[in-house]
Chains A and B, each alone.
Chain A
Amino acid sequence: MNSPKDILTSRQLLVILISTVIGVQVFIMPRLVVEAAGRDGWLSLVLGGGWALLAATAAAYLASFFPRQTPVVWFSHLLGKWGGIALSLGFGCFFLFVAAEVLRLFTDMTQTYLLPRTPSEIIMITFLLSIAYVVCHGINPIARVTLIFFLFGIIPSIILIAVFQGKVNFGELVPVLAGGIAPVIRGFLPAYGDFGGWGIIVFLVQFMDTPKEAVKGTAVGMAVIWLFFMATFIITLAAFGPIETQYLLYPVVDLIREMEGVGGFIEKLDLIFLSAWILSVFVTLAVCYYVAVLAISQLAGIKNIAVPVYVGLPLVYLLALLPQGYKAAEGLVGYLNYTSFIFSLSVPLLVFLARRKIKQGGVSDGEQT
């Protein structure tokens, strides 16, 4: 089904997961969460991140029942032919939309801070073409590129936020639950939506020779992301307070802009940070697009994904350009969050079905391959 060279180790899976889930939404996340939950947004993140961690780990566990099998096949085993097709198509379209959304938000942010006079079409087309080149060659090159970018782009960015020096006041976190539990629940969806990229796990485990390891890799990866998002949120809140955060378009970028390295000697770290972040967005976009193309081409029975990769590019480009203005583009984030949440609800159901089928002996499990 897949060419034999397409092998992922669990470490590669971990790195891909972290780099993909940390995309562009983290830049606006504190604003969306604070808007809904106020000071208690970190509790929303605890809930949202916890739920995403459970969903992702369960999805990896589920996929490990079917080593070296594409979800397109085992979705149909579990849900019947049409249910399987619908779910695969759903995943494919979801990641296509995610890719378009990531591309759009990234372009808008780049134009705001880095390339104000470059037309957005140019940014999008160059980005898409370089992604297409990697995606065409399958999961292995993606995994290696991700590892390199992880070392040079994402780790420095994480360190930069972790060692944030500036005027922060962690007293901003109290009082806790002053408005009761309702705001925390309201903040759940925007908080959870940040982790929405976990869905790639469903499609990536098929490349692993030892899929049982995927569960651990996924859990560790999601935990790292969870911590990172929590830290980002708490530092942003501590630096700006709950009111100003709501008014900042990209609170995390403004956080980096407030930062001064080495006693004020280095300033404007946002430029370095954003340049490094391009690598992270590259990975997010590449993996999301790859999963979308993979789902749809496996569904259609196309072996060579190079053709669908190039056919799909204009689609992503058009979808990314579709919303009029930044506000409309960001409004779509809400819909994607809902969709991702529905997927996460379907995972326990699928696990239940899979266990029942295995007990009945009706499904090929690990031993049969």
Chain B
Amino acid sequence: MGNKHKKPMVLLVLALLSLALAGCWDLWEIDDRGIVMAIGIEEIPPEEVLQTQGLERQLIESTNERALKITYQFAVPSGFAGEGSSGGPAYVNLGTTALSSEVRLRGLISTQSSRKGDLTHLQAVVLGPEVCKNGIYCVLERFIRDPGVRRQISIFVTEDDVAQVLDVNNPQEPMPALYLVSLTDNEDWANRMPPDMQLGEISRRIRENAVYVVPRVAAGENSLKMAGGGIFHGDRLVGWLGELETNAYRWIIGEVDTAPILVAAPGSKGPRRTEGYLAENTQSIRSVEIVDGQIKLKVKISTEGTLVERQIKEVVWSNEALAEVKKALANRVSMDTKVLIKKAQEEWRLDLFGFGREVEKKYPQLWKEIKDEWNNLYFPGALVEVDVDVIINRTGTKR
């Protein structure tokens, strides 16, 4: 290399070396991150937090705030299955209590955790019944605003102790946070679960002051059960949707993917024999109509599927038998849905199914007048018509 090239080469090397410096100064190594997988939030009586004395007590600015108990589930990377696994637990739960704000609590939890909390991999948030009854917006707001937190975090409610839900010891899935999320994947298989509710969706529903259903989990010995849901209006829990109610609810909102329904087989004697039908393709169209000044809510459900079970010996391949089965199935669905709509109208007085939006679409001017009284007055007073159409495409391997 000639001498005259030396200087530029030195400069080039220096410039290239400086590249290596960039980006390191604010590096946060994966080993140093306390990856929070799930968060459980429950409200507690403020007295538990306000027990401190003297200046500490003074420094807690206000006694008029909500007191929260928050459980953080940290991942323990060495506990994950794999070659480097130490065989220890995959997670550790740390809980702390303070007034109202999760931001304060995060600082507090760092007094216990060996690693600073990092919410970018947060999977699930479990809310306790008390916090839900008193409003979830102020609790979830902090997560919605944080650009590091995904909007797809699944939200659950529980009637049990939140800490217990996050500490379930399931051999199939060692990390409770992932266990919870994997349960939501089954919602197309088991219609007792309401559709997955995510943080972004909830933020939107709260803004719209809508009525929606959040999946409910219950803690068992070494498993969780996700079935039924909490009914929310705006940001408050106002009731519970039972497991079978959830099933009917999904038929109405058209979220049935592969759902079985059962009916009593006609003409069976002794203990009831059943017919099982698996819906494979279901559509539900909700609409409204005004008939003689009366609002009429219409649900048109059409479903196609397979007959998967028939406990009586007679073959189903006859026009009469098929028609009979179809009729029984349609009756079953329409009865279930009607009963649920009736309960929503009379007991909850809440439009769970989004008929209000249909009114807005079709009669925008009318909607402006009635929207404030919709849940209270107009929805409960509306007529209901349910129309179910069942098509049996296949009958499995038997005739």
Contacts and interface: CB of A to CB of B under 8 A. Distances in A.
A174 B208 contact: no
Contact-residue bracket for chain A = 20 to 34
A113 interface: yes
Interface residues of B, number: 17
B106 to A, nearest CB: 15
Contacts, number: 39
B142 interface: no
Interface string B352-390: 000001001110110000000000000000000000000
Contacts of A116: 147
A300 to B, nearest CB: 35
A254 B149 CA distance: 11
Given A171-B361, A241-B208, A257 B150 contact: yes
A175 B207 contact: no
Nearest to B363: A175
B203 interface: yes
Interface string A208-252: 000000000000000000000000000000001101100100000
B151 interface: yes
A178 interface: yes
Interface string B328-362: 00000000000000000000000000000100111
A118 B207 CA distance: 33
B52 interface: no
B361 A244 contact: no
B152 interface: yes
B147 A260 contact: no
A268 B361 CA distance: 34
Interface centre among B26, B207, B208 (most CB of A within 10 A): B207
Contacts of A113: 147
A178 B365 contact: yes
A267 interface: yes
A268 B360 contact: no
Interface string B133-153: 000000000000001001110
Interface string A172-197: 00110010000000000000000000
Given A174-B361, A175-B360, A268-B150, A118 B26 contact: yes
A117 B360 contact: no
Contact of B200 (A243, A254, A267): A254
A17 B150 CA distance: 34
A303 interface: no
B4 to A, nearest CB: 25
A369 interface: no
Interface in B276-292: none
Contact of A244 (B147, B150, B207, B357): B207
Contacts of B151: 254, 257-258
Interface string B207-249: 1100000000000000000000000000000000000000000
Contacts of A171: 357, 361
B147 A243 contact: no
B25 to A, nearest CB: 9
A108 to B, nearest CB: 12
B361 A175 contact: yes
Interface string A265-281: 00110000000000000
A3 interface: no
A356 interface: no
A70 to B, nearest CB: 38
Contact of B364 (A117, A175, A243): A175
B102 to A, nearest CB: 18
A244 B152 contact: no
B124 to A, nearest CB: 15
A324 interface: no
B204 interface: yes
A81 interface: no
Given A175-B361, A178-B364, A243 B150 contact: no
Contact of B204 (A174, A175, A244, A260): A244
Contacts of B204: 240-241, 243-244
Given A254-B151, A257-B150, A167 B364 contact: no
Nearest to A174: B361
B159 interface: no
B202 to A, nearest CB: 10
Contacts of A260: 152
B365 A167 contact: no
A127 to B, nearest CB: 15
B304 interface: no
Nearest to B149: A257
A171 B204 CA distance: 16
Contact of A243 (B152, B207, B362): B207
A-B interface, 9 closest residue pairs, ranked by CB to CB distance from nearest: A178-B364, A244-B204, A175-B364, A117-B26, A243-B207, A174-B361, A112-B147, A243-B208, A244-B207
Interface of A: 112-113, 116-118, 167, 171, 174-175, 178, 240-241, 243-244, 247, 254, 257-258, 260, 267-268
Interface of B: 26, 147, 150-152, 200-201, 203-204, 207-208, 357, 360-362, 364-365
14 contacts: A112-B147, A178-B360, A240-B204, A244-B203, A244-B204, A244-B207, A247-B207, A254-B200, A257-B150, A258-B151, A258-B152, A258-B200, A260-B152, A267-B150
Given A117-B26, A247-B207, 12 more contacts: A112-B147, A113-B147, A118-B26, A171-B361, A175-B364, A178-B365, A243-B204, A243-B208, A244-B204, A254-B151, A260-B152, A267-B150
